[in-house]
Structure 1
Amino acid sequence: MSSIQDPNDFLRSLFSAAVKQADPMRCVPAALPPKPDGRVVVLGAGKASARMAEAVEAEWGPCEGFVITRYGYARDCQGIEIVEAAHPVPDQAGVDATGQLLEIAEGLGADDTVIMLISGGGSALLCAPADGLTLDNKQTLAADMLASGMPIGDINGIRKELSAVKGGRLAAAVYPAKIVTLMISDVPGDDPSDIASGPTVGHAGNAHLAIATLAKWGVTAPPAIASYLEKGGDPLSPDDPRLAGVENIICAAPSQSLEAAAKIARDAGVDVRILGDALEGEARDLAVTQSELAVQIAEEKLSQPVLLLSGGECTVTRRGDGIGGPNAEFVLAAALALRGHPKIHVIACDTDGVDGAAEVAGAVADPTTLALAEAMEISAEGALANNNAHGFFEAIGAQVVPGPTLTNVNDFRAILVLP
């Protein structure tokens, strides 16, 4: 028998459990090797990197180091310097900070060890344009790619072509020092080369593939970037000998957070069905597919609640000028597809606490969502058409706003079907 009292509160508690599972203070110590002899330098970038640095110092005491994180995600560390910059579109602070990090990296020797802390968001925070390119070039392209609906793997592949630090180039700068990279994965499939665009992993793509990908998604590169790619770029091969000694360790992944939420649900008497931890695609389309599945389940003679869990990274193709993100858009599209179904509740949130560019993790929807909006003369259809999911859920008081979570294992989606 289920112990669920309030379905919306229950779904919020599952999201909190998923975030807690990926807290660097929990996962980093388990992956951290014994402290090496000699000089140890901690470097890193990502939304979780400052918290990861805090976790390293909790184990080892004050350390030398330099870490770049998103505005609002800094932590007070004992010895490691924490610098903040912009995400998801890079800024000059990120360029300056990356320059400082590279100076430290290039001053290391064969007797030194680097603990590299990498998490989602590092692609924007580590910003060092390749020769001949500028920050303006990269800002323009980043904004256009994010608005196009392009999958994150494709975006990161292009980023690697245009960077002096991604695609293994940071590791090459650190060479010949030894590198142990601890990663918190925010990418479908947990491929280390995709996490923060793989600063310690070589790039298997090429400029011709990048050109084809931009064309496929209808993105026009700024002239300087187009010219750079047409000349072939300068990728660093995964077989480059400077990368041979790098050890890449994933210490937290989306699947682990889904399992943590699933355990709580099962303990509450819920039948849990995990649909996958690496789902991609247009947020509104995935919402319709999962909502249809939920309706089919609701028509069965259920003896207990059913929970559909999924992770991954959805995308949004910008059609309007509203404030939205893939998780809020998923929930809004699901609410419209469900049309106030009396047995179904939905949540979708980004585990980093930021959905799109809004300081909001996501939203919840229940059987009353559309009726409440209608009573307030708010159009759900209009909000979806204008990509204004955050504006919609803010107006009806259904946002999930945890603030900076200090971690990042991608999207968390849950649909609860009651008997």
Structure 2
Amino acid sequence: MSEVSPLIQSLRTALEAAPGDVPLRLHLAGLLLDAGHQDAAVTEVAVALQHAPGDGQAKALMTRALGVPSPAEAPPQSQASMPAENGVGSDFNWGAAADQVKDVIPPRFVEAPLTTDGSGDPDDSPAWDVDAPGTVRLADVGGMQEVKDRLEAAFLAPLRNPELRKLYGKSLRGGLLLYGPPGCGKTFVARAVAGELGASFLSVSVNDVLDMWVGNSERNMHDVFETARRQAPCVVFLDELDALGGKRSRTQSSGMRNTVNQLLTELDGINASANEGVFVLAATNVPWDVDIALRRPGRFDRTLLVLPPDAPARETILRYHLRERPIEKVDLGKLVKLTDGLSGADLAHLCESAAETALLDSVRTGDVRMIGMKDLLGAAKQTVPSTEPWFAAARNVAMYANDGGMYDDLVGYLKKRRKL
């Protein structure tokens, strides 16, 4: 093989200054090919095609560099396989060409195309993230003793006593609806239940299920429950149930109504034992917007009101959010009393605001200081309970729509707080 000529070296130097100059690069590729440097010519043509994918001269040079017979040398072909006008035959193996230059040119497409119905991967295999049994237990939930007692009766006691469960005909099927103001730990409680059961945890939101293509939402809902049945014992947590199972009478979309119908079917199971070991928990801020069919016995017939944290829970939450922050002389007892009515999210915001105050003060003065009680009290004074709007709406429901005593717990709480 001949040595690299000064002209070729000069062209390479020129291309370093103008890498996008396609004609110059193709001229260099032609010289390399004439000099017997086939691999180097393929590389240069591949770079040119990256800048100009439809360039006819580049395709012709690639054909020549890869040893494909030219139109004059090629054997007679049928009309269907005649050479194209750009000089590259229709039988040119672009796959082999791409394989030869894969180390030089990255692939133009790295994602698999959608299927014709837009459902995602070509193999259309659903992938639901099922968390292994976690370490969170109900003991990790501060306070909320009434919630724990109800969960014990609804799920945990029957599981721990299989012989008594069989004696009394208690099934492990069923669903529990957690409702209450936002930011009060409904999701955390659901994870704690999964931990107590030693069960897998499958969290599902409206974004996971709803799909723009007709029939895909129902299929997604079915796949969720099929995955849970295979992973049993498994806790399926339906977040924002009002979005997944809203009242069909208020829904204009037939797709949403069909999704609710599919959810009802999955909760019933194909037969009496289909959902054995599948524990369905759901959470909502607006239980009055959930379809009434979801509330009948055997579905979400048990409800649990998750209220703003009580004093022991507030202390636990404050300790958690202050544990890694520099604090001094913090009177948690006083702070707990002043934060009555705040949600868990409000308490987290309070700690964040206090830390921000101390940080900004340190920046202004140039002296780094600890977070003190003054910062926390100031933050508590400025933090308005985010639960108040929810209780304002819930009060009307408790007064005028408490059919069947569903909201008795809420009525009792409102009376205790003198809000009813």
TM-score interval for Structure 1 and Structure 2 normalised by the shorter chain: under 0.3
User: Which is greater in Rg?
Assistant: 2
Structure with bigger strand share is 1
TM-score by length of 2: 0.28
Structure showing greater relative contact order (alpha-carbon pairs closer than 8 Å, 6 or more residues apart): 1
Which protein has the bigger helix share? Answer: 2
TM-score (norm 1): 0.28
